[in-house]
Structure 1
Amino acid sequence: MDSKGAKLMFRLAWLLWIASVAGAALSLGLAAVNGAAQRETGLVEAGGNAGLTIAFGTVGALVAVRHVRNPIGWLLIALGCAFALHGFAQEYTAYVFVERPGVLWGGEAVAWLKAFKGEVTVIGLFALVLLYFPNGRLPSPAWRIVTWITVAGIGLSMLAAFRPGPFRNASYPPSVTNPLGVPGGDTVFGAAEALGTMLMLVTLMLAIGSTVPRFRRADGSERRQLEWLVLGGAAVVAFMVGTQFVFSVPDTVEEPLFYLAFAALPTAIGIAILKHDLYDVDLVLSRTLVWGSLTAFVVGTYVVVVGFLGTLVHARGDLVPSLVATGLIALLFHPLRDRVQRLVNRFVYGDRDDPYAVVSRLGRRLEATLAPEAVLPTIVETVAEALKLPYVAIALRQGQTLSVAAAYGTPSPDLLNLPLIYQTEPVGQLSLAPRAPGDTFTRADRRLLEDLAWQVGAAAYAVRLTGEVQRSRERLVTAREEERRRLRRDLHDGVGPSLAGITLKLDAARNLLPRDPGAVDALLGELKTQTQAAIADVRRAVYDLRPPALDELGLVPALRVHAARLEGEGLHIVVDTPNTLPALPAAVEVAVYRITLEALTNVVRHASARTCRVRLTLSGDCLVVELTDDGRGIPADVRAGVGLTAMRERTAELGGTLQIGSTPDEGCRVTASLPLPSAPDDGRYSPESQG
């Protein structure tokens, strides 16, 4: 809607409000002068109508000007206008027809407007308010039929304005007839009015029922708004139960209380839509529902028991039925209160008081979840729904940072952050928003959430581990393809052209042999050199795949040979290994060999050490490679180069760990721990590895 349309709707809302307030003021003025023409409570009824007019009209205008597209504001304005028209028409016709007949004109027209408005139109309007509350949308598209039935009921009830003959109002003289009555239409229009009233009553019940599934699906602010509506409705129900069953209230008191109680509905709706975040309604709603239910139980039990026993013994005035009813209530009150409190807590707080139900629901949802990527979203959704929280999120630790892996609902600034830990290792963080802005979690909430955090930590660790395994697989596939690409490039660009050149030179030597044997001899010398270069290229490619020394000598002898080559210029290298080593997988042998060679190369180039020791030990199911030197260590400001990075990657590929410790001027220690499989994974072992 453009700014011009918004201004027009703004003016229309306040214009209707001014008209309804003016009607309420006129009705109060007429009620004051009508005097004996009205019943004893006439002024009270006029004041009540005026109060409801102002309450519904004001709330409706405020909602309409702030949320132009929300139909609730306009429906509340319509309710305010209906109450204003009802009050004004009732007082005006009483003045014209009873108090001062003939003084003012238009009595029949005003009476017709009152009949056209109908006595039960407000029922349909309020049903529409409930259907569209709180966001201006129906609970689902299927509820459109209920909306149209409500509108049809309102229209049918308005047809009563065309019934012929005198108006059906005991305060009008019989001579006052309907100026727009349709002759012969009394039966038809009377039936239409009855049908419309029935339809509106049915749709009102359906509208009240629609708030239950809407409340169950709602979260965050929408749930808060619905709670305010329930609180307003509870005020009306409490008034009806109190005045009809609990207390004996005279009409002069009951009628003002009715209007005050009914005014709680527009007040609650206004707070819900305009200022629902300013007040904490959970505690009030919980106590209201609990004590309202208990009051209904006490009253109902008392009435039923006293009535039944009184009928049975024919002694309604006897004290015995009352004593029996009181004793029965006393026996059932405490267990019933506990039961009702649990039901209300579940309605307001979810399954907070039943941790087993939360864990059980979470377990069932996880069992039904097959894909690893759906585990964390399932957890946050289940926790949010079970505890009725507006926002739940799980963040996984990636190095020193946290990244959100799954979230449900709308985040808020006041979050409770609980660490996710698996076997003393921090794996992430569970973030939860309180049920309303400004709320805090109770002790019961925190106990349950902390217990859940331990369970979620294991699941988060499994998900993170699954992700790491998947990324490792991707890295392995990438490394394999890169290795194949390198081999293809080396063979295509190196060995291939060399062999092709050798073939051409052999053809040239064959052609020269009959004519110039001396030239053939020189050409053969070039062929020999080129062939040796091709052989060197092949050997280099083979060495990059797997060092030949491992197959020719075994792991330990190969390390000793390489260490002997690096000794010199004051450096002594000692290779210390067990007497026997188990048969090692090829991947472990290559990793140990290359990590050791890279570490020894760094010692020779940078350490300025006199002694270096290489130790291979078995620790459980791991082979530990430890290299120490007495050199100058690694400076604190030195960044890891290609060599150290390659060592870490080789260790991580096999699921091992690499630790590098260094103290300036006191040497360096490199420790790589590589897990050994319990059974051979590819059948490739080096029998010489026992060295």
Structure 2
Amino acid sequence: MMRRATVRRTLALVVLVASWAPAIASVLIAWAFELRDLPVEGVFLSASPAIVQSRFDDIGVVVALIYGPLSALLIARRPHPVAGILAVHSIGSGIAALGVQWGLLGFAVPGLPLWGFLAHAAGWGYIPGTIMTTIIPLLLIGAITPLYRALIAIAVACATVGFVAAFTQQSVGGPLNPFAIPDAAYQEQLPGIYGIVVVIAVSVSTVTAVIILRRWLSLGREQRRGLGWLVTGHIFLTLSYGALILPDLDGVPGWVWDFGMIAPVVGQVFYPAAILVIVLGSRVRGIDVAVNRVLLWAILVVIAVSGYLVLVSVLNSILDGEPYAVGIAAALIVALGIQPLRSWLQVRVDRLVYSSGAGPTELIRTLGERVGDLESGSEGLRELADALRNAYRLGSVSIRSVGEDEALTVVGRPVGTVTQIELRAGSSHLGWIDVTPRRGDRVSGRVVRALEELSGVVAAAVQLARANEELERARDDVLAVRQEERRVIRRELHDGIGPALAGIGFGLAGVSNLVETSPDKARSLLERLTDDLRSRLTSVRSIVRAMDTVGDHPDLAARLRALAEDFSGAGVTITVDAPAASHLTALQREAAYFIAAESVHNAVRHGDARTISIDIATQLDRTICLAIADDGRGFEHTESPGLGLTSMRERANAVDARLTVDSEPGVGTTIIVGFGRAGA
């Protein structure tokens, strides 16, 4: 795999050098020797006027400079038949441009090496690639149909015939072509053959334009990415081909020749960009920013220059004024129109390079729709940050929350200057979006404005993540409380009720043995066992009631009175006075009942209490207070708290209540829970 990549990169470099070197050499020769504009006569089989032929080298230089790197990039990243055609086109056009200047240089430098060969290269160098570009769209728009195959075969035949004709032709009085076929009859037929070939090639290009235009019209918006640009570029190239093959006739207006020389330049703006995006697809990442900017400014330059020339021509015909004034007026109009045109064009270039959803408005809509589908918590924020990073081609995106030392999420590796966008929800400041550009790039003002528009969506996602984290913490707290309650119940069953029931069972066996021999002892033992069983039944009821939910019993005072009745059989007097119980919330009522039940259970079992009071009242400061007081044995505060007391504190903390314990040995215990203001 690595070897193939190396071969592709090497081949791409060869194509780039082979196309750029002759093109640049032709420009340097023309500049250094100040050669004439008109090319060497007889090297072109084309019947177009000499003034048009004089621009063939300019077109060749443009094609070599544009298609050379394009074909090299395609070869390096994704080998495709189109890359081969473009490589032939760029190299051939560069050789043709060099041939024009080399042929002219031969008149100034007698005995110039390869003069005849390179001079005729001006005529045959550009032919194969130019004709084969007529069917490039057919290789890009889907499966090859029989019609496409026929058109491709015709284009290959035309390219072959046209190349052979130009490669073997010899004009009378022109430079000697070493590969010319020295047959007069053959040479006489070549112009006609070449004329037929180019007419057929232009016809193939026209049919191809109609095919891709119909395909573009039949597709939906999301499927048209790049195809509209390909249609536009191909139409301009087809029109330029048609204009450049017209013979030098008196009836042809001059603007046709002008258009024939301008149209290729316009076509080279749209055509290569569309090919690049369609062929590479997602592999355009990494060079997409450069493609976007070069394409935008190339189109703006072409439009500005073309618009200026048209305006000068129109203003001259209308105003008939001074050329200086007309030039200033045309420049002013172009300057005023270029900025709104740039904004309009930027959106379309973004759609071509990045996809249709790359515009800020479209992205806001798309992300807004996705917020409800994002994963909750940090994973959802990461998805959102990654979407922003990919949409705007950023180096990194991090989302930070107020009061947090670490970012909530980070995608990419922060490099370079950090740009911050504030996150707000109404008047509340929630945090920031921190973005950095890709290496060697910058965060443009357009991207900052788009992120500011999106900050509301990101703020909503941050709030959602916060709520999810709080929910997870609440779930963990509830689970911990439930686990502790289960441990308490398990301990009660294992250490208390279980052994007690086992003891009662043994006692009943003893009663059975004493019934006949000692009825009085049996009766006394049975009474003790009955009292013990009643006490254990009270404990079981206490555990069951502690497991009740508030939803099943919303009346806290009634539940507390039922709790008191359960313990009445154990010789304990419990009084309940709870006038303020109805002011507590559902969660506060559940916590209050659990704390009261646990306190009564501890007072009866561990403190041997005989009287217990449970009061829920509103204090002077409007706070609601739960107080459980008993006359049991009490305990030392130096003792480590048991599971029961720990569980009560956790219940109080869960509802933001404050629990205090006042206990002295031999005096009793009072537990007070403050729940906050009534009605708060």
TM-score by length of 2: 0.51
CA shift, 1:196, in A, is 3.7
Rounded Cα–Cα distance in structure 1 between residues aligned with 2:334 and 2:97: 44
Unaligned segments of structure 1, at least 5 residues: 133-137, 219-225, 241-247, 310-317, 351-356, 559-577, 599-614, 626-640, 661-669, 679-691
Give me the whole-angstrom Cα distance separating, in 2, the residues matched to 1:35 and 1:21.
23
Residues of 2 paired with 1:659 and 1:426: CA distance? Answer: 35
**Match of residue 431 from structure 1:** 434
Distance in 2 between residues matched to 1:10 and 1:338, nearest whole Å: 39
The 1:9/1:198 distance shift into structure 2, 3 A limit, reads same
Q: Which amino acid in structure 2 is aligned with residue 404 of structure 1?
A: T
Q: Are 1:60 and 1:74, in contact at CA under 8 Å, matched by a contact in 2?
A: no
User: Does residue 461 in structure 1 map to residue 469 in structure 2?
Assistant: no
The residue aligned with 1:416 is 419
Q: 2:633 maps to which residue?
A: none
Q: Find the aligned partners of 1:488 and 1:541 in 2 and give their Cα distance.
A: 11
Q: Kindly state the Cα deviation for residue 438 of structure 1 after the two structures are TM-superposed.
A: 3.3
Residue 506 of structure 1 corresponds to 508
CA distance in 1, matches of 2:18, 2:455: 58
8 Å contact kept, 1:24–1:87: yes
1:121 is matched with 129
Kindly state the Cα deviation for residue 461 of structure 1 after the two structures are TM-superposed.
1.9
Evaluate the alpha carbon distance shift between residue 473 and residue 534 of structure 1 in structure 2; reply closer, same or farther with a 3 A threshold: same
Distance in 2 between residues matched to 1:659 and 1:501, nearest whole Å? 37
Deviations 1:392-412 (A, max 9, x none): 55455796433329x7xx665
> Please, which moves more after superposition, 504-513 or 320-329?
320-329
1:255: how far off? 9.6
Distance (whole Å) between structure 1 residues aligned to residue 460 and residue 659 of structure 2: 26
Alpha-carbon deviations, 1:437-483, whole Å to 9, x = none?
A: 431444x7657755754674355224422553365357547755774
TM alignment of 1:290-369, pairs within 5 A = 292-293=302-303, 295-297=305-307, 299-300=309-310, 303=313, 319=320, 336-337=337-338, 339-344=340-345, 346=347, 362=364, 366=368
How far 1:63 moved relative to its partner?
4.7
Q: Partners in 2 of 1:519 and 1:417 — Cα distance?
A: 89
Task: Note the C-alpha offset of 1:513.
Answer: 1.2
**What TM-score do you get using the length of structure 1 for normalisation?**
0.51
Q: 2:406 aligns with which of 401, 407, 430?
A: 401
Per the alignment, in what secondary structure is the counterpart of residue 439 of structure 1? coil
CA distance in structure 2 between the partners assigned to 1:92 and 1:26 by the alignment? 10
Counterpart in the other structure of 2:161: 160
The answer on whether the counterparts of 1:591 and 1:650 sit within 8 Å (CA) in structure 2 is yes
Any stretches of 5+ residues in structure 2 without a counterpart?
45-49, 173-179, 244-253, 352-358, 550-555, 565-577, 599-616, 627-641, 661-671
User: Partner of 2:432: helix, strand, or coil?
Assistant: strand
Pairs within 5 Å for 1:87-166: 119=127, 121-122=129-130, 124-125=132-133, 142=142, 154-158=155-159, 160=161
For residues 24 and 394 of structure 1, do their structure 2 counterparts lie closer, same or farther at Cα, with a shift above 3 Å needed?
closer
Alignment of 1:558-597 (within 5 A): 583-585=583-585, 587-589=587-589, 591=591
Matches of 1:387 and 1:279 in 2, distance apart?
9
Equivalent residue runs for 1:39-50 within 5 Å: none
Summarize the Cα distance change of 1:423–1:17 in structure 2 as closer, same or farther, 3 Å threshold.
Answer: closer
Q: Is the Cα–Cα contact under 8 Å of residues 286 and 348 in structure 1 kept in the other structure?
A: yes
Question: Is the CA contact 2:138–2:208 (under 8 Å) kept in the aligned structure 1?
Answer: no
Instruction: Give the Cα–Cα distance (whole angstroms) in 1 for the partners of residues 194 and 678 of structure 2.
Output: 98
**Quick one: structure 1 residues 304 and 492, their matched pair in 2 at CA, closer, same or farther if it must change by over 3 Å?**
farther
Contact 1:127 1:200 in 2 (8 A): yes
Letter in 1 for 2:340: R
* Change over 3 Å in CA distance of 1:73–1:178 after alignment to 2: same
2:355 match: none
* One-letter code aligned to 1:420: L
Partner Cα separation in structure 2 for residue 94 and residue 327 of structure 1: 38
Give the aligned partner of residue 634 of structure 2: none
Question: 2:536 corresponds to which residue?
Answer: 534
Give the 5 Å matches for 1:565-644.
583-585=583-585, 587-589=587-589, 591=591
Residues 337 and 394 (structure 1), Cα distance of their counterparts in 2 relative to 1, 3 Å cut? same
Q: Quote the residue 1:78 is aligned against.
A: 88
Q: Which amino acid aligns with 1:514?
A: E
Percentage of pairs with the same residue: 18
Residues of 2 paired with 1:7 and 1:281: CA distance?
24
| In 2, Cα distance between equivalents of 1:449 and 1:470 | 30
Q: Which amino acid aligns with 1:527?
A: L
Structure 1 window deviating more from structure 2 (60-69 vs 85-94): it is 85-94
One-letter amino acid matched to 1:429: W
Q: Aligned partners of 2:675, 2:196: CA distance in 1, in Å?
A: 95
- Answer yes or no: is the 8 Å Cα contact 1:302–1:329 preserved in 2: yes
**Aligned-partner SS, 2:512:** helix
Q: CA deviation at 1:215?
A: 13
Q: C-alpha offsets along residues 618-649 of structure 1, whole Å, 9 cap, x if unaligned?
A: 989x8699xxxxxxxxxxxxxxx999997886
> What's the offset of the Cα at 1:430?
1.9
Alignment partners' CA distance in 2, 1:325 and 1:208: 41
**Deviation string, structure 1 residues 239-282 (Cα, Å, up to 9, x no partner):** x9xxxxxxx99x9xx999x99x9899999999x99998799898
Deviates more, 1:33-42 or 1:473-482: 33-42
Alignment CA distance shift 1:540-1:159 (3 Å)? same
Mapped partners of 1:453, 1:144: distance in 2: 47
Amino acid of the residue matched to residue 419 of structure 2? L
Mapping of 1:164-313 within 5 angstroms? 175=183, 193-198=201-206, 292-293=302-303, 295-297=305-307, 299-300=309-310, 303=313
Taking only aligned residues, the RMSD between alpha carbons, in angstroms, comes to 7.7
Q: What are the Cα deviations for residues 507-558 of structure 1, in whole angstroms up to 9, with x where unaligned?
A: 55235412454773685477358537735743763685599xx859989xx9
How many pairs are equivalent?
553
Partner of 2:408, secondary structure, is strand
Tell me if structure 2 keeps the 8 A contact 1:167–1:178. no
Amino acid at match of 1:198: T
CA distance, structure 2, for counterparts of residue 594 and residue 653 of structure 1: 12
Question: Could you tell me whether the CA contact under 8 Å between 2:127 and 2:159 is conserved in 1?
Answer: no
